[in-house]
């Protein structure tokens, strides 16, 4: 009896069974936890959210089934094929072809879903057409706060002058209200206030380092990069207050960089605009 | 090419410290990684405790940094420092160093029947440069402002600006850049050595189709390292220039930091991300491809069957290597890159899962009908397949730009990357350690301890990383030092479960360390070929060099099955008459 047989004798009676059982338990538990939806996304609150939710749901179902099948196959094979005296190993060279066909089918399916469900959900955020009643807002990230500005009645954003930025007088954007006509009626706020059911063009910018604009309920996450003006489009569909969180490591206060998005009725929004003019 | 055998080095220093012997260098790399992984794991404990119990006091930590952890209370910025060190140490000094350099240096020349690597002195140089890089990185713990807080990805402008943008961004960040630069050079040198060794030093009869898949994997990984680390080296040099020489490669104009306008003009923060991820994505495969080789190789041995589809697996590894260079944009779906590019990058990202899926199916096919021997080494191979499936599948989900735009920078991605490149690669390292330990130290690792270590680790990693997927689905951002708001506070219980699982799993690693160091000295003596394996490293003992002239290979790498002798395998160097029964 050589070494491999001695070692094998000690463990082969139970190790494969143990692994098979543990793995099956892990696979079923994981699958059940996902299926139970106990921990899940907060409900969507934008027009694009159902598209993304649908893609994510189908994606999870798809990979969930493959996950379960693959882990169980592994568990069953390991349970079943321990080395036994007198039983030879069997080879199946033709299995290569089966594996190839299975892999190609799986990936073709994935490509297909990416090109259909995936493309639609992705295009919704970035390729939204500008419509008449669209509201334009600019969001600016800085260590460790957000500021938002609305163009006011003239519909034009005033010029930004970096040297004029002075938080002590509330000039977070560096507006030259004295000389710049476009800037005069710009509304600046630390909270993003939007009317419900109206399309929004949000332009993202940053003042110092890269930040991010993440609103879970809108299903939108987009980096805010200094030197770039990055547009995102969405239409809030539910009145409520949502958290805006920074998800791009931006320095020591990253964990507390927050703002709020408040979606209100059109009338409330107009009232809010008047109050801040 | 004839080579005169080098006379054995004399003197302790030349033999064990500044050695040019690939076997010693392999063990040196292994020990370096072992040190690094212990540090990296300890850092993750501190981070996990701090996240789950905000305001917890971690006694003793104040002695490491009295500013970062006054009285043992971790500050938010120190959390980010620990996170940066954890990522950097694990990615570079563990996942790049152990599977490729430790086992590659040791095993590759033996398996191809070479007497040494092609450039032994370069081999030694690359090890000592790697050590220097680790020392420079660890030094950041002891400089005044502490380690950098920019994560292992070091995105500028944060990483390009100085102390005004935050703590750790002065000397700490500069040292980080220097460390990564040195590491890149070391990795390229060693890759060059691997490539030449693989191509030029195979012994007679060792044709390309007789080379074990392990060696193919190390060879392909070496090519990836050479091409990708060259770009990383360039990127960190540019970043260093931005910090010290007044250039503006990555920093745009008109930045206002701490009330001061920065003197930069016209740089692009996205340029760094393109360069970094051009390195960063191949890096994922640098960590995992050696695992592909190791698992294929070991599965054959422990299922006593030839590798199923040797050439197919080889083709898969080659195509993964190639495709890994055209998928980097999937790290940048939300970076501000053109959304159309995002969509286009998602296509090769999904396609790269084709060879990965195929390889996994072939591994499963190898188990079917095999005579499985459940050694610790085999168990870790099986665990590798399981975690690779789990992490790979969540990767397919993240390849969809819209889904990624919700899950990007959440714990879902943390779970995915740890499962697929962290845990899987570590399992491959464990499998390799238990397999080649008898070769390295002439003694066996204790199997009882090994299987205990395996069982705890396997269950543990699932307890740690499956819950993280749910944190991510719920929208918990990664890299948060504390859970301060109403939205995240309900996740505290999940965080605590993860932390406890991480501490228990971490504690189980001491079983491994104990087993390792005890078995080195008191383990059961190993015979010449304890696993009844076929490849050349088992042909001769540890002390005797192979002497390429003496070896003639006349068999393929995986001839397991009924033979004309009593054994169920044919050594590669066996006479041609010994054959597998058809």
Are A118 and B400 inside 8 Å of each other by CB? yes
pLDDT of residue B1: 42
Q: What is the pLDDT of residues A21-76, one digit of tens each?
A: 999 999 999 999 999 999 999 999 999 899 999 999 999 999 999 999 999 999 99
User: Which residues of B fall within a CB distance of 8 Å from A29?
Assistant: 466
Which residue does chain B place closest to A48, by CA atoms?
B402
**Per-residue pLDDT, B145:** 86
| Residues A219-270 pLDDT 10s | 999 999 999 999 999 999 999 999 999 999 999 999 999 999 999 999 999 9
Burial class (CB in 10 A: 0-12, 13-18, 19+), A94: exposed
Which alpha helices (H) appear in B368-399, and where do they start and end? 376-398
CA triplet B457, B215, B193: central angle to 5 degrees?
A: 110
Q: How many Å lie between the alpha carbon of B68 and the closest alpha carbon of chain A?
A: 12
Pair B145, B170: CB distance under 8 Å: yes
Q: Which residues pair with A214 in a beta bridge?
A: A221, A245
8 Å CB contact of A26 and B459: yes
pLDDT at B543: 46
Q: A-chain residues within 8 Å CB-CB of B255?
A: 207-209, 226
Report CB contact under 8 Å: B364, A248.
no
Q: Spell out which residues of chain B touch residue A53, defining contact as CB-CB under 8 Å.
A: none
Residues of B in contact with A28 (CB under 8 A): none
B-chain residues near A83 (CB < 8 A): 304, 371-373
User: In chain A, which residue's Cα lies nearest the Cα of B157?
Assistant: A209
Q: Is A52 close to B485, i.e. CB distance below 8 A? A: no
Range A153-169 average pLDDT: 89
Chain A residues close to B351, C-beta within 8 Å = 107, 111
**Nearest chain B alpha carbon to A20:** B382
Q: Do the chains contact at B447 and A11, CB–CB below 8 Å?
A: yes
Select the residue of A23, A34, A41 nearest B386 (Cβ to Cβ): A23
Binning pLDDT at 50, 70 and 90, where does residue A2 land? Answer: low
Range(s) within chain A of domains with CATH label 2.60.40.420: 135-276
Contact A73 B364 (CB under 8 A): yes
Question: For B22-81, what is the HEC assignment?
Answer: HHHHHHHHHHHHHHHHHHHHHHHHHHHHHHHCCCCECCCHHHHCCCCCHHHECCHHHHHH
- Which chain A residues are Cβ-neighbours of B309 within 8 angstroms? 93, 95-96, 99
Per-residue pLDDT, A90: 86
Give which of B167, B305, B372, B531 to mutate to test A binding, by max A Cβ within 10 Å: B372
Pick from A209, A212, A230: which is nearest to B409 by CB?
A: A212
Taking an 8 Å cut-off on Cβ atoms, the answer to whether A252 and B149 are in contact is: yes
Residue numbers in A near B393 (CB within 8 A): 63, 66-67, 70
Nearest residue of chain A to residue B150 (CA atoms):
A249
**What residues in A contact B254, CB-CB < 8 Å?**
162, 226-227
Residues in B closer than 8 angstroms to A102, CB to CB, are 357, 361
Low-confidence ranges of chain B (pLDDT < 50): 1-2, 4, 542-544, 548
Find, in chain A, the residue whose alpha carbon is nearest to that of B364: A74
> Does B494 contact A39 at a Cβ distance shorter than 8 Å?
yes
In this structure, are residues B565 and B575 in contact, taking their beta carbons and an 8 Å threshold? no
Q: Which of B251, B263, B406 to mutate to test the interface with A (most CBs of A within 10 A)?
A: B406
pTM over 0.90: yes
Instruction: Determine the Cα–Cα distance for residues B410 and B110; give it in Å rounded to an integer.
Output: 44
- Closest CB to A91: pick one of B305, B362, B487: B305
Q: CATH second-level architecture of B27-550?
A: Up-down Bundle (1.20)
Residue B303 is nearest to which of A66, A89, A122, comparing CB atoms?
Answer: A89
Q: Judge whether B149 and B169 are in contact, CB under 8 Å.
A: yes
CA of B384 to nearest chain A CA: how many angstroms apart?
11
pLDDT of residue B422: 94
- Closest CB to B371 among A83, A104, A126: A83
Say if the Cβ atoms of A73 and B386 lie within 8 Å: no
Chain A partners of B479 at a C-beta cutoff of 8 Å?
Answer: 249, 254-255
The average confidence (pLDDT) of chain A is 90
Burial grade of B7 (CB within 10 A; 0-12, 13-18, 19 or more): exposed
Q: How far is B480 from chain A (nearest CA, A)?
A: 4
**ipTM value for the complex:** 0.94
Q: Please tell me the distance in Å from A3's CA to the nearest CA on chain B.
A: 6
Helix intervals (H) in B245-352? 269-303, 310-323, 339-351
Tokens encoding A225: 């990069």
pLDDT beyond 70 at A12: no
Residues B304-321: tens digit of each pLDDT: 999 999 999 999 999 999
Tokens of A212: 């991010």
Does the CA dihedral A203-A207-A210-A212 come out positive or negative? negative
pLDDT of residue B450: 95
Tell me how close the Cα of B296 comes to any Cα of chain A, in angstroms. Answer: 14
CA distance B497 to A158: 50
Q: What is the DSSP string of B108-134?
A: HHHHTT-SS-S-HHHHHHHHHHHHHHH
Taking domain A135-276, whether its CATH number is 2.60.40.420 is answered by yes
- CA-based nearest residue in chain A for residue B349: A111
* Cα distances (Å, whole numbers) of residue B563 to B303, B379, B570: 16, 27, 7
> What pLDDT sits at residue B544?
45
Q: How far apart are CA A112 and CA A116, in angstroms?
A: 6
Residues 6 or more apart whose Cβ sits within 8 Å of residue B314: B213, B216
Give the torsion through C-alpha atoms of B393, B396, B397, B400, to 10 deg. Answer: 180
**Phi, psi values for residue A192, rounded to 5°:** -90, 110
Asked whether the beta carbons of residue A226 and residue B252 sit closer than 8 angstroms, the reply is: yes
Q: How far is CA B239 from CA B165, B168, B173, B270, in A?
A: 15, 16, 10, 13
Taken in order B356, B362, B367, B372, the sign of the CA dihedral is negative
Q: Is B562 within 8 Å of B545 (Cβ atoms)?
A: no
**B51: nearest CA partner in chain A:** A255
Q: How many contacts, defined by CB atoms under 8 Å, are there between A and B? A: 341
Asked if the Cβ–Cβ distance from B150 to A73 is below 8 Å, we say: no
Please tell me which of the candidates B158, B406, B560 has its beta carbon nearest to residue A221: B406
| B-chain residue closest to A24, CA distance | B386
């Amino acid at each position: 009896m050589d070494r491999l047989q001695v070692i094998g004798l000690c463990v082969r009676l139970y190790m494969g069974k143990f692994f098979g059982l543990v793995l099956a338990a892990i696979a079923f538990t994981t699958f059940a936890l996902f299926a139970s939806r106990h921990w899940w996304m907060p409900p969507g609150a934008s027009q694009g959210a159902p598209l993304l939710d649908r893609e994510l749901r189908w994606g999870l179902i798809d990979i969930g089934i493959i996950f379960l099948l693959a882990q169980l196959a592994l568990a069953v094979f390991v349970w079943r094929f321990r080395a036994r005296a007198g039983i030879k190993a069997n080879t199946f060279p033709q299995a290569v072809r089966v594996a190839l066909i299975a892999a190609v089918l799986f990936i073709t399916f994935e490509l297909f879903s990416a090109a259909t469900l995936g493309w639609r959900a992705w295009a919704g955020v970035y390729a939204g057409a500008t419509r008449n009643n669209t509201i334009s807002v600019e969001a600016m990230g800085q260590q460790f706060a957000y500021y938002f500005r609305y163009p006011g009645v003239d519909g034009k954003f005033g010029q930004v002058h970096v040297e004029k930025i002075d938080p002590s007088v509330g000039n977070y954007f560096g507006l030259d209200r004295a000389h710049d006509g476009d800037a005069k009626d710009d509304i600046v706020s630390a909270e993003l206030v939007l009317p419900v059911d109206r399309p929004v063009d949000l332009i993202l910018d940053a003042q110092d380092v890269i930040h991010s604009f993440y609103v879970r309920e809108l299903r939108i996450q987009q980096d805010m990069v200094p030197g770039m003006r990055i547009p995102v489009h969405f239409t809030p569909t539910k009145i409520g207050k949502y958290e805006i969180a920074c998800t791009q490591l931006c320095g020591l206060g990253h964990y507390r960089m927050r703002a709020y998005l408040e979606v209100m009725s059109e009338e409330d929004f107009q009232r809010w605009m008047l109050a801040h003019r | 090419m004839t080579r005169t055998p080098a006379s054995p080095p004399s003197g302790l220093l030349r033999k064990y410290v500044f050695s040019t012997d690939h076997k010693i260098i392999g063990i040196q790399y292994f020990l370096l990684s072992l040190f690094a992984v212990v540090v990296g794991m300890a850092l993750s404990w501190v981070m996990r405790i701090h996240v789950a119990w905000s305001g917890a006091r971690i006694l003793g930590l104040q002695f490491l940094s009295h500013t970062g952890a006054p009285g043992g209370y971790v500050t938010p910025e120190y959390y980010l420092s620990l996170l940066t060190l954890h990522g950097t140490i694990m990615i570079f000094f563990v996942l790049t160093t152990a599977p490729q350099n430790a086992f590659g240096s040791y095993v590759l020349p033996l398996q191809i029947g070479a007497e040494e690597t092609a450039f032994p002195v370069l081999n030694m140089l690359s090890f000592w440069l790697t050590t220097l890089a680790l020392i420079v990185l660890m030094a950041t713990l002891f400089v005044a402002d502490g380690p950098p807080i920019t994560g292992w990805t070091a995105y500028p402008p944060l990483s390009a600006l100085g102390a005004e943008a935050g703590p750790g961004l002065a000397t700490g960040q500069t040292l980080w850049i220097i460390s990564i630069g040195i590491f890149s050079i070391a990795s390229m040198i060693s890759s060059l050595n691997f490539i030449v060794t693989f191509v030029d030093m195979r012994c007679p009869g060792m044709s390309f189709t007789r080379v074990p898949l392990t060696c193919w994997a190390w060879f392909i990984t070496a090519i990836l390292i050479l091409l990708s680390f060259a770009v990383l080296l360039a990127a960190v040099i540019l970043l260093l220039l931005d910090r010290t020489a007044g250039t503006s490669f990555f920093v745009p104009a008109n930045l206002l930091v701490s009330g001061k306008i920065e003197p930069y003009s016209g740089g692009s923060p996205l340029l760094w991300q393109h360069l970094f991820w051009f390195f960063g994505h191949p890096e994922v495969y640098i960590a995992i491809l050696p695992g592909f080789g190791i698992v294929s190789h070991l599965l054959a041995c422990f299922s006593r069957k030839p590798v199923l589809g040797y050439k197919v697996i080889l083709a898969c590894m080659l195509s993964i290597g190639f495709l890994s260079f055209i998928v980097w944009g999937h790290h940048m779906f939300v970076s501000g890159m053109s959304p159309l590019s995002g969509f286009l990058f998602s296509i090769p990202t999904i396609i790269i899962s084709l060879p990965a899926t195929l390889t996994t199916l072939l591994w499963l096919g190898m188990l079917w009908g095999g005579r499985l021997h459940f050694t610790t080494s085999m168990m870790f191979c099986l665990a590798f397949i399981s975690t690779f499936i789990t992490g790979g599948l969540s990767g397919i989900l993240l390849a969809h730009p819209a889904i990624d735009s919700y899950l990007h920078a959440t714990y879902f991605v943390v779970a995915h990357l740890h499962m697929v490149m962290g845990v899987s690669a570590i399992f491959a390292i464990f499998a390799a350690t238990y397999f080649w330990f008898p070769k390295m130290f002439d003694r066996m690792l204790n199997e009882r301890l090994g299987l205990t270590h395996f069982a705890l680790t396997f269950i543990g990693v699932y307890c740690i990383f499956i819950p993280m997927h749910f944190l991510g689905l719920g929208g918990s951002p990664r890299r948060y030092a504390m859970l301060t708001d109403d939205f995240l506070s309900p996740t505290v219980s999940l965080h605590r479960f993860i932390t406890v699982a991480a501490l228990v799993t971490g504690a189980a690693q001491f079983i491994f360390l104990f087993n390792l160091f005890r078995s080195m000295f008191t383990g059961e003596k190993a015979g010449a070929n304890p696993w009844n394996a076929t490849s050349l490293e088992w042909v001769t003992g540890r002390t005797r060099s192979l002497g390429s002239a003496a070896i003639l290979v006349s068999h393929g790498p995986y001839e397991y099955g009924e033979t004309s002798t009593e054994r169920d395998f044919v050594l590669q160097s066996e006479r041609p008459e010994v054959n597998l029964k058809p």
